[in-house]
C-alpha cells in the first residue's frame, strides 16, 4: 500500500516537474531572408500568442550568421529553437538522431538566390579560375555551398561536387556585399539572396552567373526552424504559440508590405533604402511560407556525398508530425 501511494504521489507531481518553460530562446541569422522571424520579434507575436494560451512567455533572440553556431546552441541547450538554412538543419538532424532527435517545425520561405560575379571573364562556373574567390556563408555547410556542389556535379560529372570548394570563402552576406561593392577585395563573386544581390548588381561590373533555379528547379526553402524532441514534447503550448506566431507574421508580410518593411528595417544590420526594401518585399512576399520545399532532396544529396552519416527515407521523417503540411517536400 505504501508503495502504491508513493507511486500515485509521484505521478501527481510529475507534471509540475515538467512544467512549460517561461523563457524561449530563438537563434536566427541576419538578413531579409529571415523576415518572418524579424516580424515575430519586432511585433512580439509569440508573446501575444502565448498569452492567449495562458502562459507568460519571455522571448530571447540570439543572432548569428553561422548556422553551425546555432546548431551548437541547440545541442548544448542554450538555444531552444533555431532558424537556419537546410544544410545546418540536416546536419543537426543526422547528428542528433537517436539522442536529441532534432526535427523541423516549419519553413519560413523559399526566396530566390543568385551567384553574382564582377569578373568580366566569368559567365558560367566553368570560367572560374584559381584567382577567383566566391563568398558563401559557410563553405561546404551553407545552402549556397551545397547548391554549388550540385552544380559542379551537374557540370563536370559524378564525384566532382568539390570542384569549387577551394574557391569558397566563408563570409556573412553583409560583409560579402561590402567586399563586392568595394572592387578591391579578393572576393569577386558572391552567392546570395535579396537584398544583397539587388545592391551588388548596382555595380556596373557585377553580373549574374547563375540563379538558384538553374541548379534546383522549383521552390527551395531558404530557411526553416527546428528544435529538439525534448523541448518540443515538454512545451506543447509554447510550440503551438510559436507556430501560430509564424502564421501571423506571414499574414502580415502578405497583407501589409509597409508594415513588414518597417519591422525588417528596425532590426536590419545592412543599410538599404526603405523604398527599395519595400519593393523587394512586395515582389517576394508570396514566397514567405511555412511549407518546407526541397528539404528531402538536399538531405539526400548531402548523405550521398558523405556530409552526413544517415539519410532520411522521406521528408516526413525530419519534421514533427503535428506540423506536416499537404504541399511539402
Average pLDDT per block of 10 residues along the chain, 329 residues long: 41 53 93 93 97 96 86 93 94 93 95 96 97 95 95 97 97 93 94 93 96 92 95 96 97 96 89 92 93 95 96 95 77
pLDDT at position 252 is 97
pLDDT at position 30 is 82
Task: Give the closest residue to 113 by CA, choosing from 93, 142, 89.
Answer: 142
* Cα separation, 284 vs 301, whole angstroms: 27
* Cα separation, 260 vs 272, whole angstroms: 14
Kindly state whether residue 240 falls inside one of the protein's structural domains: yes
CA 234 to chain CA mean position, Å: 24
Domain range for 259 = 2-110+221-323
Annotate 63-98 with DSSP letters as a single string.
E-S-HHHHHHHHHHTS-SEEEE-HHHHHHHHHHTTT
DSSP secondary-structure letter at 54? T
Instruction: Give, in degrees to the nearest 5, the angle at Cα 144 between 38 and 182.
Output: 80
Kindly state whether residue 328 falls inside one of the protein's structural domains: no
Q: 122 and 106: one domain?
A: no
Q: 93 and 119: one domain?
A: no
Last residue of a domain, one of 180, 215, 250: 215
Q: 126 and 88: one domain?
A: no
Asked if 176 and 187 count as a contact pair (C-beta separation under 8 A), the reply is yes
Q: 12 and 100: one domain?
A: yes
Q: 42 and 83: one domain?
A: yes
* Cα separation, 257 vs 112, whole angstroms: 18
* Cα separation, 289 vs 295, whole angstroms: 14
Last residue of a domain, one of 215, 244, 276: 215
Kindly state whether residue 329 falls inside one of the protein's structural domains: no
Asked if 134 and 179 count as a contact pair (C-beta separation under 8 A), the reply is no
Kindly state whether residue 154 falls inside one of the protein's structural domains: yes
Q: 193 and 261: one domain?
A: no
pLDDT at position 326 is 67
pLDDT at position 90 is 96
Q: 229 and 143: one domain?
A: no
CATH of the domain at 78: 3.40.190.10
H or E stretch at 187: none
Kindly state whether residue 7 falls inside one of the protein's structural domains: yes
Last residue of a domain, one of 199, 215, 231: 215
Q: 97 and 233: one domain?
A: yes
Q: 104 and 9: one domain?
A: yes
Task: Give the closest residue to 308 by CA, choosing from 85, 88, 73.
Answer: 88
Q: 52 and 102: one domain?
A: yes
Q: 210 and 119: one domain?
A: yes
pLDDT at position 13 is 42
| Number of compact structural domains in the chain | 2
pLDDT at position 36 is 97
**Confidence (pTM):** 0.89
* Cα separation, 290 vs 110, whole angstroms: 9
Q: 103 and 226: one domain?
A: yes
Amino acid at each position: 500500500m505504501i508503495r502504491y501511494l508513493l507511486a500515485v504521489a509521484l505521478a501527481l507531481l510529475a507534471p509540475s516537474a515538467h512544467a512549460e518553460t517561461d523563457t524561449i530562446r530563438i537563434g536566427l541569422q541576419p538578413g531579409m531572408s529571415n523576415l518572418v522571424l524579424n516580424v515575430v520579434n519586432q511585433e512580439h507575436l509569440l508573446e501575444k500568442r502565448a498569452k492567449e494560451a495562458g502562459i507568460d512567455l519571455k522571448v530571447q533572440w540570439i543572432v548569428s550568421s553561422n548556422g553551425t553556431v546555432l546548431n551548437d546552441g541547440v545541442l548544448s541547450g542554450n538555444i531552444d529553437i533555431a532558424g537556419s538554412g537546410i544544410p545546418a538543419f540536416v546536419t543537426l538532424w543526422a547528428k542528433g538522431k537517436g539522442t536529441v532527435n532534432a526535427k523541423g517545425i516549419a519553413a519560413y520561405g523559399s526566396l530566390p538566390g543568385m551567384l553574382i560575379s564582377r569578373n568580366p571573364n566569368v559567365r558560367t562556373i566553368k570560367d572560374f579560375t584559381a584567382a577567383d574567390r566566391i563568398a558563401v556563408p559557410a563553405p561546404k555547410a551553407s545552402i549556397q555551398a551545397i547548391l554549388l556542389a550540385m552544380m559542379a556535379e551537374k557540370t563536370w560529372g559524378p564525384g566532382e561536387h568539390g570542384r569549387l570548394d577551394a574557391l569558397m570563402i566563408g563570409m556573412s552576406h553583409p560583409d560579402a556585399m561590402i567586399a563586392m561593392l568595394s572592387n578591391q577585395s579578393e572576393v569577386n563573386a558572391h552567392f546570395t539572396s535579396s537584398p544583397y544581390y539587388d545592391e551588388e548588381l548596382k555595380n556596373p561590373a557585377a553580373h549574374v552567373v547563375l540563379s538558384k533555379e538553374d541548379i534546383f528547379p522549383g521552390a527551395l526553402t531558404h530557411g526553416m526552424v527546428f528544435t529538439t524532441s525534448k523541448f518540443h514534447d515538454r512545451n506543447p503550448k509554447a510550440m503551438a504559440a510559436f507556430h501560430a506566431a509564424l502564421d501571423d507574421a506571414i499574414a502580415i508580410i502578405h497583407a501589409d508590405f509597409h508594415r513588414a518593411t518597417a519591422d525588417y528595417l528596425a532590426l536590419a544590420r545592412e543599410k538599404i533604402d526603405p523604398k527599395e526594401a519595400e519593393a523587394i518585399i512586395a515582389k517576394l512576399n508570396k514566397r514567405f511560407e511555412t511549407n518546407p520545399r526541397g528539404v528531402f532532396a538536399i538531405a539526400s544529396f548531402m548523405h550521398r556525398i558523405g556530409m552526413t552519416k544517415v539519410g532520411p527515407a522521406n521528408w516526413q521523417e525530419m519534421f514533427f508530425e503535428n506540423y506536416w503540411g499537404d504541399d511539402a517536400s
